[in-house]
Structure 1
Amino acid sequence: MDPIIRGEGKKMQWYQLTPGDCLDRLGSSAETGLTDDEARQRLARHGPNKLGDEEKISILSLAVHQFMSPLIAILLVAAIVTYLLGEWTDTGVILLVVFLNAVIGFFQEYKAEESVRALKGFVVSKARVVRGGREREIPGAGLVPGDIVLLASGGRVPADLRIIHAIELRVDESMLTGESLPAEKGAMPIAEESLIPGDQANMAFMGTAVVNGRARGVVVATGAATTLGEIAGEVREIGITKAPIQEKMERFARAIGILVLVASGVLFGIGILLGGTAKDMFMTAVAAAVATIPEGLPIVVTIALAVGVGRMARHNAIIRKLQAVETLGSTTIICSDKTGTLTKNEMTVTLLYDGRHTCEVTGGGYEPIGEILRDGLPVAAAGEEQLARLLRIGLLCNESDVYEEDGEWRVDGDPTEGALIVAALKGGLSPEAEEEAWPQTAIIPFESERGYMATIHDHGGKRFIFVKGAPERVLDMCTIDSAEREATLRIAGDFAAQGLRVLAHAWKEIPPETGKLIHDDAETGLCLAGLQGMIDPPRPEVVEAIRGCRRAGIRVVMITGDHGVTARAIAADLGIVRDDAPVLTGRELEGMSDEEFSDCVREVSVYARVAPEHKLRITRQMAASGEIVAMTGDGVNDAPALKAAHIGIAMGKGGTDVAKEASDMVLTDDNFASIFEAVREGRVVFDNLRKVTFFLIPTGVAAILSIIATMIMGMPIPYVPAQLLWINLVTNGLQDVAMAFEPGEKGVLDRPPRHPKEGLMSRLLIERTVLVGGLIAVGVVYTFTDALRNGATLENARTVAVTTMVFFQFFQAWNSRSETNSIFSLNLLSNPFLFVALIAAFFAQLAVLYVPALHVVFRTVPLTAAEWGTILAVSALVVVVVELDKWLRRRGQQEDD
């Protein structure tokens, strides 16, 4: 039986076993490893240590998919019919729209399908192993379970390993856990159940980076069976989450298709019943159908989204998928990582306790600007012996450095140690002077199993040990009474409750002849110097952004690898939750059924110590409860959740390629405030799509209603097919595109998100479309019949009707610029593109009326001044009626409020 799976009923919890038990189960030896024959057999059984070749994307299927939209299908039918009718210009325009949409959609989907490919960059090309008792270097793909792997500083972990021996090993697991600090690793077994990767301190995972130290580990999983491989599998299986705008457009297209077919059929049937010829009525019905179909809408959607992309780029948000623009405007929940997105990713000491006093440290980040305050007054290390000792230990019991580069302060080493250096600088200590006065002669580096770091320093002919580490551990090493111990632990607890990471500092004098530093020298008889509490401070602009999200009806949820106390404290500081808000940990989530989790997903806004599968589960549960979810992430572990969310947002600075490839949007500044700005642009885009729809639809409705009305009245129809197609071209040719450039209205972020089920047309717009469509139809029929009563020829009356329709739509363009605000409150030139488009359309209509060569094509005649007066008076009524409707609705809203 395969030793790898012997005795397993579920996935093996390797971290719970001793190194010896792991080796026994894997049939391996720490000293000799596997033989070449055993390795070959296992390689044949388990396959190569790689994540697998992704199936090739079918270019043909992607291309065909671009033509599956109902609206595109209707446009293709319209193109065929207009071609058969000899209206080749309309045929060309329709086919151009279809082609442009197909090309844009194809490349967007092609890029989206490449997400998992970035994972291959994490497969390690070479690995150092022990086989047959000899060290050798082999291709990473040749690793098998049971292999003994040697790790060293600067390398990548080539597979999932159970550490069996470690020396000062620290591993950067940020790509998996989101933790900014390197994880300390050891070999001791851990008894707890269901630990997330970030808590498995004796495991090293494929793709993570060794920051410090050396280790020997046994391979427990390779390829797709690794934690990284499981994430790749999840990304592969999730597929593409359909954006809300795609669903809305599909529903709208189906509704329009049914409406057009029914209306055209009714029009054809009434015409036949009233004595029209089948040929004439068929051509009229087809022309009316083509006029009704908003063929400009798909390309306007694309242009509006592209305009949004440009605007968002100015706010440091790079859009990878066009639909993401509108999705942001629909978002009801933003799930955000903590480190670097809500916070600065710069550890900063904010509180000190020197054994007698608690002091506040001002300033943030690694720039050494700030001061130490006691009771609100500045204090310096000079003249304050206890404070100076506390800061000196933090400065010198340290392996890192702080420096300035290109005007930005950075840390070379551990961010925690960088914060201690900056605190000392704020207290007035000079690193150069201190290092000269207190030269270091020996060191015990920090190791998680010890819980402290120690150094020896010479000063004034004497020798001292400096120690820093976890408060509980360091206090055990100090000679203090129980009352002082309890008081110090209480202060450390207060610091931790504020979200601070707390380090205790201690010291003692040792004999001058002490040379090599050993553990026994440091672990007894220390004197407590005090505590330093540090935090990764929130970004100042994020607090206002979260407040804005609340006004906009968007809930912000923090998902972090930090511990619950720290997570709640920071979330409270940011305004995400109250101080007593519930925090759900990954371990608690692990024990919940989907039904239990569904009950609390609407209430919990802070998730702590989560694993990759938890983040994906959170995303899916929120979406299942009807939310539109935006999810941020930067690590490989975030990729499944990013892809499953309605909009995945990756970090541009610190994010992995995997996260970026799985995302819809990338933040170039890793700042949550940029998401908030992008939400505004997303809402503006959707508003503009609605404006375009409201602008386009009433014309088609009016065309069909006016034709039916005149036929019922026993009169000739008011347009010939060519005129209907001209109306469609001159009223929709440029104005609809210009609507995509409308600036955002005031208060766009002060209203709640749209209901996820709400379509492209709201109830208000449907009601107003019926009102405007009916008004235009009545106005056209009136001017048409009035012209005939006054003795005009049929050709002249139809010219009046066509021109009336065109000018109705000119005024309707201004009405469409806002659903609620009066057009008289809008700047006429705030959308110069629309202004120019209307002028161009006006002169095009004049050309049809007054250029003799066009009279034959469109069967028009010049109009008299009196006819122009009637046309302008009637068509301007649409402004009066819509303004009245807006005023009544505003007043009703004010009364409700």
Structure 2
Amino acid sequence: MRNRTAATDTRTGRSASAPPWHALPADEVRARLSTSDTGLTDAEAEARLVRIGPNEIPEEPPPGLLILLLRQFRSPLSYILFAALAISLLIGETVDAIVIAFALLLDATIGLYQERQAETSLRALRQLSAPHSRVIRDGIERDVPSRELVPGDVVLLESGTRVPADLRLTTTTSLLVDESLLTGESVPVTKHPNPVPETAPLGDRSSLAFSGTVVVSGRGRGYVVATGINTELGAIASAMREAEDTETPLQQRVARLARSLALYTAVTAAATVAIGIAQGQEAVDMLLVAVALAVAAVPEGLPVGLTITLATGVRRMARRNAIIRHLPAAETLGSTTVIGSDKTGTLTENRMTVRRVWSGGQSVVPGTTPTPSPESNSVRPGDPVYDTLLIGVLTNEAAVYPTGDGYRVTGDPTEAALLIAAHRAGLEPEGLRARYPSIDEVPFEAERRFSASLRRTDDGYLLAVKGAPERILPLCDRMRHGESVVPLDPAAVQETVDDMARDGMRVLAMAYRQFDRPPEDTAATVEAGGLIFAGLQGMIDPPRPGVREAIERCHRSGIRVLMITGDHAVTAAAIARDLGIAGDDVRVLTSEDLAAMDTDALRSAVAEVPVYARVTPQDKLRIVTALQERGEVVAVTGDGVNDGPALRAADIGVAMGRSGTDVAREAADMVLADDNFVTIYAAVEEGRTAFDNVRKVTLFLVATNVAEVVAVVAAVAAGWPLPLLAAQILWLNLATEGLQDIALAFEPPEGDVLDRKPLPRSEPILSRVLWERVAIAGLLAAIGTLLLFRWELDNSGSLTAARSVALTTLVIVEAFQVFNVRALWRSSFRVDPRSNPFLLFATLGGVALHVIALYLPPTQYLLRLEPISLEAWVRIVLIGVMVLLAVEVHKRLRRVSR
């Protein structure tokens, strides 16, 4: 529990076993802090500032450019290329060394660009602190910089101010605080100075005001009990710092692929060199073979291909209002198995809305259109429902201004909802307020649990009252029923209240009393009773349009949707039922339930429970971790500071672009420009398309690399000259096929992407079936290359000509193979070539580039090439056709078995 006095006992000398601040009476808090109502002296405040430190959250410096650059070379594939570079320099192959160094530099530049996403989450947290605060020191009210606040300071709060530190409140007047950035609760919280139970969750600690939250209305005073890193805001900063950035599933799959290729290269190179030496080959020649194998085994174009593929997915998502901050996240959403969604603002509209108005047996659902709809929603003066709406207008300090597409609201969201409900039912709130001028107001107080307004009418005075039903009903002895006033039926009213509460609504009761002369004491008159019960208004933050359908589609796609919210359990359960997240017997776990669970129990619970309510930031982080430990790929949405640690720890954090805080946006991998859950589902389709294209790029590159390695190994084993030099292999990998793997990034989605189940974390980029396809294409290409190499060598006697034919064979096989990989399961002949014109041009361009290299003197020198005959070209094209048809046969057989 973050605000336990033990948290700073070494600095303040308080007992480590003392209760938390919210459970202590104000007098005991004052004594433990060694302060008074007149505040600290300047000398004591300065001494405490030296001892405790400033009221700010320290930043960690970002890693330097050199550190980021060195990180790019940690891949096993980079180690292989470094070894090849060193060997090339050792044996004097300068051209090969230069080309290998260029490939390394290109990959590092791309990786460095990706990692230059500065971590500014903690800076955003600091910006939530108020720059100045109103305090009392030496009995004098003054402004001081918020960073100079210390425990024991007396801080004054008023409407519109941001709370500068964690405060134990001592006095309040109608104090409402918006804590949504910490708790996720959409309704401002009423604060009071009375102690609350020690076990109260964060959202129910009404005697505390937390750093970073905002005063909506009212005034208050309190003692500073925690500053800087010791506040609830600081606890979140610490959790974000401790939460490690998780590798995305794609990063894990690429790392596994890189390790496999590195092992495969090392074993193959060692075995091939050993065979050559055993055959009597020169050691220098075998080192040249090792370099060729290292270069052949490493798909140098893979980092570029992956980056372009993911960047293309990012652009597609941006067109659908999903802004990706980190490239690997573009694919992660397609692999997601669980979406843990915040309720307020994501699943719901983040505004309180009156869903039901009830009076004396008559029930009305206010219109949902932005403007009044008299045909279906208007009510007549004198109707009980009209009077219920009128009382909500008169006992109200908010203001609502209709706009073209909705309303602009100022003031308390609950009171604004009452005004909008009246407006939609045909009432004119501002006109009614002017018609019934205010004589006296009784503001809402936590102790009273009601507010009242005394108004002058045409024939006397009207006392309008609204408040909690359990507070208002005992003050009433009559009720409206139709056009009549009848004795109160408490059971009927309570049954309606219970029905509304079960539906997750916040319920307010409306009552009134008429007078010929104004009473002397309005508050005392209300407390005396004798009121007429007018009716009830039930309100809720309603679900967003389209969210229910998006959740249904997620379920069909194999994605579980969980609700993780700081709101109350009853409200969360009602929204979950309404959206189809859970059924009628929905099970909800609260923060207290989670605190009683150990790691194993929580790991079991997250597999079944769909709704979590009143959760703290630490709870949300535990839920995410438990899901990941079960092997789930977890996406988490959030908009508040409280969501920061979970957003950072999740496989993909999704923040709100409109309503989200800077902290949430900076901690997230993806930002929703429209704050809508429906956008997440749209991004899932793009994420799955991105992963498909990553697979296609990898399949294309690895198949070519296998052909190169097999050709080199087989030639050495047969005692033949090397069919390909290292520089030629790099030319093939970076220049000719480099254009095609980039073009594959623009492949449109295949028709069944949303009908598949998410891939498990253990699923590699290349599945067993795709490795079969790699083997078929690679072996056939290698055999064809060796046959044509030997044919040319025997007939022309020129090793340069033979190598030119071998290299050209692989270039043409690539041109056929790239069309093979466009469809992972369907026949390539069923894919419209016009759906990706860039690929067609890239393929023709790659072939043209190679033809130019065969005839251009500089490239002839660098790559050791020469032109080839027309007969050789015919034989090469036949090899390409053979590979294409063989892969098509494999697809056909595998489709049948699938």
Q: TM-score range by the shorter chain?
A: over 0.9
Give the counterpart of 1:591 among 589, 596, 601.
596
* Superposed counterparts of 1:680-829, under 5 Å: 680-713=685-718, 717-719=722-724, 723-785=728-790, 797-829=802-834
Percent identical pairs in the alignment equals 46
* Superposed counterparts of 1:27-42, under 5 Å: 27-30=34-37, 32-42=38-48
C-alpha distance in 2, partners of 1:169/1:307? 50
Give the counterpart of 2:190 among 179, 184, 193.
184
Give the counterpart of 1:464 among 462, 465, 480.
462
* Superposed counterparts of 1:466-865, under 5 Å: 466-480=464-478, 484-514=489-519, 517-521=522-526, 524-713=529-718, 717-719=722-724, 723-785=728-790, 797-849=802-854, 862-865=867-870
Residue 327 of structure 1: aligned partner = 332
Give the counterpart of 2:14 among 6, 10, 18.
6
Residue 243 of structure 2: aligned partner = 238
CA contact (8 A) 1:650 1:659 kept: yes
Deviates more, 1:877-886 or 1:266-275: 266-275
Deviates more, 1:802-811 or 1:579-588: 802-811
Deviation at residue 730 of structure 1 after TM alignment: 4.8
C-alpha distance in 1, partners of 2:819/2:769? 17
CA contact (8 A) 2:657 2:671 kept: yes
Deviation at residue 797 of structure 1 after TM alignment: 4.9
Given the superposition, is the C-alpha separation of residues 379 and 306 from structure 1 closer, same or farther in structure 2, using an over 3 Å criterion? closer
C-alpha distance in 1, partners of 2:865/2:253? 40
> Could you tell me which amino acid in structure 2 is paired with residue 127 of structure 1?
S
Given the superposition, is the C-alpha separation of residues 371 and 325 from structure 1 closer, same or farther in structure 2, using an over 3 Å criterion? farther
> Could you tell me which amino acid in structure 2 is paired with residue 20 of structure 1?
D
CA contact (8 A) 1:329 1:680 kept: yes
Deviates more, 1:817-826 or 1:242-251: 242-251
C-alpha distance in 2, partners of 1:849/1:37? 84
Q: Name stretches of at least 5 consecutive residues in structure 2 with no aligned partner.
A: 1-8, 480-486
Deviation at residue 600 of structure 1 after TM alignment: 0.4
Deviation at residue 798 of structure 1 after TM alignment: 4.6
Give the counterpart of 1:147 among 120, 134, 153.
153
Deviations 1:269-308, CA, capped at 9 Å, x for gaps: 3333344443334323422331231011112222222222
Residue 132 of structure 2: aligned partner = 126
C-alpha distance in 1, partners of 2:608/2:747? 37
The answer to whether the aligner puts 1:423 opposite 2:431 as a matched pair is no
The answer to whether the aligner puts 1:889 opposite 2:894 as a matched pair is yes
Given the superposition, is the C-alpha separation of residues 107 and 19 from structure 1 closer, same or farther in structure 2, using an over 3 Å criterion? farther
Deviates more, 1:775-784 or 1:808-817: 775-784
CA contact (8 A) 2:320 2:679 kept: yes
Give the counterpart of 1:284 among 266, 289, 297.
289
C-alpha distance in 2, partners of 1:217/1:262? 70
The answer to whether the aligner puts 1:872 opposite 2:880 as a matched pair is no
Given the superposition, is the C-alpha separation of residues 107 and 775 from structure 1 closer, same or farther in structure 2, using an over 3 Å criterion? closer
Give the counterpart of 1:389 among 387, 391, 416.
387
C-alpha distance in 2, partners of 1:328/1:92? 39
C-alpha distance in 2, partners of 1:888/1:653? 50
Given the superposition, is the C-alpha separation of residues 883 and 143 from structure 1 closer, same or farther in structure 2, using an over 3 Å criterion? same
Count of aligned pairs between the two proteins: 883
C-alpha distance in 1, partners of 2:559/2:136? 55
* Superposed counterparts of 1:33-112, under 5 Å: 33-55=39-61, 57-81=63-87, 91=97, 94-106=100-112, 108-112=114-118
CA contact (8 A) 1:363 1:371 kept: no
Residue 4 of structure 2: aligned partner = none
Deviation at residue 85 of structure 1 after TM alignment: 6.8
Deviates more, 1:306-315 or 1:716-725: 716-725
Q: Name stretches of at least 5 consecutive residues in structure 1 with no aligned partner.
A: 373-377
Residue 21 of structure 1: aligned partner = 28
Residue 371 of structure 2: aligned partner = 368
CA contact (8 A) 1:54 1:117 kept: no
C-alpha distance in 1, partners of 2:864/2:538? 84
Give the counterpart of 1:315 among 283, 302, 320.
320
Give the counterpart of 2:203 among 198, 203, 214.
198
Given the superposition, is the C-alpha separation of residues 102 and 353 from structure 1 closer, same or farther in structure 2, using an over 3 Å criterion? same
Residue 255 of structure 1: aligned partner = 260
Deviation at residue 608 of structure 1 after TM alignment: 0.6
Deviates more, 1:724-733 or 1:157-166: 724-733
| SS of the residue 1:518 aligns to | helix
Deviation at residue 587 of structure 1 after TM alignment: 1.6
| SS of the residue 1:674 aligns to | helix
Deviation at residue 232 of structure 1 after TM alignment: 1.4
CA contact (8 A) 2:296 2:709 kept: no
Given the superposition, is the C-alpha separation of residues 576 and 5 from structure 1 closer, same or farther in structure 2, using an over 3 Å criterion? farther
CA contact (8 A) 2:99 2:730 kept: no
CA contact (8 A) 2:459 2:516 kept: no
Deviation at residue 868 of structure 1 after TM alignment: 3.3
> Could you tell me which amino acid in structure 1 is paired with residue 232 of structure 2?
T
Deviation at residue 369 of structure 1 after TM alignment: 4.3
C-alpha distance in 2, partners of 1:358/1:224? 51
CA contact (8 A) 2:561 2:610 kept: yes
Deviates more, 1:626-635 or 1:53-62: 53-62
Deviation at residue 340 of structure 1 after TM alignment: 0.9
Deviation at residue 637 of structure 1 after TM alignment: 1.6
Deviation at residue 826 of structure 1 after TM alignment: 1.2
Deviation at residue 422 of structure 1 after TM alignment: 2.2
CA contact (8 A) 1:362 1:371 kept: no
Deviates more, 1:549-558 or 1:794-803: 794-803
Given the superposition, is the C-alpha separation of residues 84 and 118 from structure 1 closer, same or farther in structure 2, using an over 3 Å criterion? same
Deviations 1:95-116, CA, capped at 9 Å, x for gaps: 4453354345445445343321
CA contact (8 A) 1:288 1:700 kept: no
Given the superposition, is the C-alpha separation of residues 523 and 4 from structure 1 closer, same or farther in structure 2, using an over 3 Å criterion? farther
| SS of the residue 1:733 aligns to | helix
Deviations 1:385-436, CA, capped at 9 Å, x for gaps: 2122112112222111221346442212222222222222232223344234
Residue 483 of structure 2: aligned partner = none
Residue 375 of structure 1: aligned partner = none
Deviation at residue 336 of structure 1 after TM alignment: 1.2
C-alpha distance in 2, partners of 1:323/1:450? 54
CA contact (8 A) 1:680 1:749 kept: yes
| SS of the residue 2:504 aligns to | coil
Residue 433 of structure 2: aligned partner = 435
| SS of the residue 2:607 aligns to | coil
Given the superposition, is the C-alpha separation of residues 438 and 70 from structure 1 closer, same or farther in structure 2, using an over 3 Å criterion? same
> Could you tell me which amino acid in structure 2 is paired with residue 463 of structure 1?
Y
C-alpha distance in 2, partners of 1:102/1:149? 52
Residue 180 of structure 2: aligned partner = 174
C-alpha distance in 2, partners of 1:36/1:715? 89
CA contact (8 A) 1:328 1:679 kept: yes
Deviates more, 1:804-813 or 1:506-515: 506-515
CA contact (8 A) 2:295 2:726 kept: no
> Could you tell me which amino acid in structure 2 is paired with residue 52 of structure 1?
P
C-alpha distance in 2, partners of 1:478/1:97? 83
Deviation at residue 694 of structure 1 after TM alignment: 0.8
C-alpha distance in 2, partners of 1:844/1:608? 61
C-alpha distance in 1, partners of 2:596/2:773? 51
The answer to whether the aligner puts 1:404 opposite 2:402 as a matched pair is yes
C-alpha distance in 2, partners of 1:574/1:91? 61
C-alpha distance in 1, partners of 2:694/2:443? 61
CA contact (8 A) 2:647 2:667 kept: yes
Deviations 1:750-803, CA, capped at 9 Å, x for gaps: 211111122222222222212221121222234445567878866655544333
Given the superposition, is the C-alpha separation of residues 305 and 5 from structure 1 closer, same or farther in structure 2, using an over 3 Å criterion? farther
